[in-house]
């Protein structure tokens, strides 16, 4: 057990997926974690899985840190309550939009002067398709980005405590202003979310025969359309101005596309389509690769395997024997037949030798 | 070597990725394949990799089947030429849009009466991120959908030959009218393509700091934005009417979203956002799963692994020993640290026992 960077008790307000996961992670560091949730059953489940001990209202508590893990809508209120009730604690929230919460806090008359020195807005960029404390896990934040957004009021001590929380949970710390953060997540998180939902909602009333032709392209584009509406309504609402700006850019491009499709043989139509596709190429190539490395630094190869237990293991065991590290792996879904294609990415320098060696061992490698 | 369902020689017009892959696959069945490409170098490469023998203009040829593997723009012309030049051959094309090509053929005065009885439009739904004959592989169509779109003129014999081609290449055969096909691919292929490009093009001029927060959501939504502009300009142009209809629906939804984001505290705004998300949930849940099975029939679990050679192999070997089949596998990209999360999907009935057994063997399983 590695020691914590924190020392005092940590009060976690909210014991859903994220709150309970934070509790589990901090408990694993040996910290005293106190859990509180407006839902008695959510709190009880979180306590049961070992995420901390139950908050007892009558008991005096002097937490070093209060983590507000409440829904975005009520985070500012809960932060203000915690700043008032625990006048020596640092308070952080973990909502996925930061500017709106800071603005609400700044507008509150009820806060003691200087109280905001003890507040740091943060955003751990981790989540799961399932929600609630049952889905919690202490390793949820492991290697994931955790953005700290100190305000102009935040003290150096408060920032240090917030930083320790993220480090304790093995996250990778980023530091942005609330404004920069909200613009960034509007682009890399909220934009793909609404676009995935817009695509998927077109499928809602389509003929099933058409859907039988679905491939990995459609699956990938719509995967996050399965996200929780209740949470996303709050996120999109809270970051409306930043997202609006981006969506207006999308509408301009979409209108141009619609005009082009309305007259596909008109002069310039082909050029318009080519421009959309090329801009897409350029944007896509800017997304960083695995481990924050430069994009597209890996080479892919495809191997045919039977779809039965042990085949992929056998393949990967042999790749391990050959001494090559698999950087990424995708299974290609196929329609109707029980054979699979496994796409494997490796360092470009390793590729040729790997293909040769696998082929020599009898694998069907499709370069 | 399994015998072919075809018997005579096959002439493949076009030796890019798809034409050369068809040649390789048919050669593996022992068929005589003749390749022709307007680009002498593409033709030479395809011949070199064993996709067939070179077409010799002076030599007499009586193919049973001519496969037109030309770009969508010129497919109708090449089909017409082949129908005229080889009056006893069946002719198929493999372009990804079918209605426009059929309409062009119907409008041609140069075709002999009845010639269209020997034509069947088809669309093998397989491709790769790389193009050209160098990327070709005989197994490209293995387990992938191959849509046959016979017209009202197509003879039973022509349909049978087209069917044999798809079966010879181990594809899964679907039968649609050209109209149904074009509507289906507009929805499941062209819509996600343009939406991915619209998202990715927003990234083209964004600050790199924002992109450092990119997660799997953005990666998945934009992956196909890396596709070839030259090819997609032809596809989108040829299917403009069908795609236009869908994109107008998207614009209606987008306009509603933009209105909502412009006044996020107005009455009904929350409901509007919830509706978009919920429709997205519904549409996403209709996409069929692996092997054309019902959607969402698998359960997921996540295992933490060190990012070094052999670890995933070890994990999968042990899952094989436990006797569970891995239905799908994803690696979770993490920022900055050298640890990986492997998400594995299995039959729901197998999940609990697998988690127990893996945990007992010392794996960190995050349910």
Q: Say if B10-176 and B182-285 have the same CATH topology.
A: no
pLDDT category, A338, cuts 50, 70, 90?
low
ipTM of this complex prediction, to 2 decimal places: 0.81
- The predicted-structure confidence for B14-72, as pLDDT tens digits, reads as follows 999 999 999 999 999 999 999 999 998 889 989 998 999 999 998 999 999 999 999 99
pLDDT category, B336, cuts 50, 70, 90?
very low
Domain A182-265 sits in CATH at 1.10.3660.10
Instruction: Tell me the shortest Cα–Cα distance from B66 to chain A, in angstroms.
Output: 25
Kind and range of the H or E run holding B167? helix B156-168
Mean model confidence pLDDT for chain A: 89
Report d(CA A31, CA A34) in Å as an integer.
10
**Residue numbers in B near A127 (CB within 8 A):** none
pLDDT higher than threshold 90 for residue A255: yes
Of A33-37, A115-119, A266-270, the range with the lowest mean pLDDT is A266-270
pLDDT higher than threshold 60 for residue A339: no
- Residues 204 to 263 of B: which have CB under 8 A from any A CB? 204, 206-215, 217-230, 232-233, 236-237, 240-241, 243-244, 246-251, 253-255, 257-258, 260-262
Report d(CA A16, CA A49) in Å as an integer.
12
Per-residue pLDDT at B13: 98
Q: Is B92 helix (H, G, I), strand (E, B) or coil?
A: strand
Closest-CA residue to A367 (of B278, B133, B113) = B133
Superfamily of domain B10-176: NAD(P)-binding Rossmann-like Domain (3.40.50.720)
CATH architecture of residue range(s) B299-366: 2-Layer Sandwich (3.30)
pLDDT higher than threshold 70 for residue B283: yes
What values do phi and psi take at A303, rounded to 5? -125, 135
Q: Is A262 helix (H, G, I), strand (E, B) or coil?
A: helix
Q: Touching check for A267 and chain B: CB below 8 Å? A: no
Of B211, B228, B334, the CB nearest to A287: B211
- The predicted-structure confidence for B90-111, as pLDDT tens digits, reads as follows 999 999 999 999 999 999 999 9
pLDDT higher than threshold 50 for residue B337: no
What values do phi and psi take at B365, rounded to 5? -100, 125
pLDDT higher than threshold 70 for residue B280: yes
The answer to whether the beta carbons of residues A124 and B354 sit under 8 Å apart is: no
For chain B, which residues make up each domain, given as ranges? Answer: 10-176, 182-285, 299-366
**Residue numbers in B near A195 (CB within 8 A):** 195, 198-199, 221
Instruction: Mark yes or no for CB contact A188/B198 under 8 Å.
Output: no
- Residues 76 to 135 of B: which have CB under 8 A from any A CB? 125, 129, 135
Instruction: Mark yes or no for CB contact A331/B334 under 8 Å.
Output: no
- The predicted-structure confidence for B103-137, as pLDDT tens digits, reads as follows 999 999 999 999 999 999 999 998 766 677 888 88
Per-residue pLDDT at B117: 98
Per-residue pLDDT at A300: 79
- The predicted-structure confidence for A116-155, as pLDDT tens digits, reads as follows 999 999 999 987 656 778 878 888 999 899 999 999 999 9
Mean model confidence pLDDT for chain B: 89
pLDDT higher than threshold 60 for residue A1: no
Instruction: Mark yes or no for CB contact A188/B220 under 8 Å.
Output: no
Instruction: Mark yes or no for CB contact A213/B145 under 8 Å.
Output: yes
CB neighbours of B291 closer than 8 A, spacing ≥ 6? A307, A333, A334, A335, A336, A337, A338
Q: What is the mean pLDDT of residues B318-339?
A: 69
CATH architecture of residue range(s) B182-285: Orthogonal Bundle (1.10)
Per-residue pLDDT at A128: 66
Report d(CA A364, CA A341) in Å as an integer.
10
Instruction: Mark yes or no for CB contact B335/A277 under 8 Å.
Output: no
CB neighbours of A158 closer than 8 A, spacing ≥ 6? A90, A117, A118, A119, A120, A150
CB neighbours of B157 closer than 8 A, spacing ≥ 6? B90
pLDDT higher than threshold 60 for residue A168: yes
């Amino acid at each position: 057990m590695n020691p914590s960077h924190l020392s005092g008790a940590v009060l976690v307000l909210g014991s859903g997926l994220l709150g309970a996961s934070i509790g589990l992670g901090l408990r694993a560091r040996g910290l005293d974690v106190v859990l509180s949730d407006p839902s008695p059953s959510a709190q009880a489940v979180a306590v049961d899985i070992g995420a901390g001990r139950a908050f007892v209202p009558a008991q005096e508590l002097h937490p070093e840190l209060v983590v507000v893990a409440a829904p975005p809508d009520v985070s500012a209120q809960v932060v203000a309550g915690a700043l008032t009730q625990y006048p020596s604690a640092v308070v952080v929230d973990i909502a996925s939009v930061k500017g709106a919460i800071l603005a609400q806090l700044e507008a509150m008359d009820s806060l003691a002067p200087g109280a905001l020195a003890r507040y740091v807005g943060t955003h751990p960029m981790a989540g799961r398709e399932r929600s609630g404390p049952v889905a919690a896990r202490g390793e949820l934040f492991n290697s994931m980005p955790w953005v700290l957004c100190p305000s102009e009021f935040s003290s150096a001590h408060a920032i240090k405590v917030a930083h320790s929380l993220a480090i304790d949970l093995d996250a990778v710390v980023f530091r942005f202003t609330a404004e920069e953060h909200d613009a960034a997540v509007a682009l890399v998180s909220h934009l793909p979310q609404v676009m995935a939902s817009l695509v998927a909602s077109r499928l809602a009333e389509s003929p099933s025969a058409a859907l039988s032709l679905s491939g990995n392209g459609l699956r990938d584009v719509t995967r996050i359309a399965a996200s929780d509406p209740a949470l996303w309504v709050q996120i999109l609402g809270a970051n409306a101005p930043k997202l609006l700006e981006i969506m207006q850019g999308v509408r301009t491009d979409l209108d141009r596309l619609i005009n082009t499709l309305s007259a596909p043989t008109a002069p310039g139509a082909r050029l318009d389509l080519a421009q959309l596709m090329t801009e897409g190429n350029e944007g896509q190539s800017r997304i960083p690769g695995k481990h924050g490395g430069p994009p597209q630094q890996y080479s892919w190869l495809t191997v045919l395997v039977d779809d039965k237990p042990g085949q992929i293991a056998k393949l990967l065991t042999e790749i391990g024997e050959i001494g090559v590290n698999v950087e990424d792996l995708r299974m290609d879904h196929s329609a109707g037949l029980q054979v699979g294609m496994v796409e494997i990415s490796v360092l470009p320098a390793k590729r040729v030798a790997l293909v040769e060696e696998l082929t020599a061992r009898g694998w069907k490698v499709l370069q």
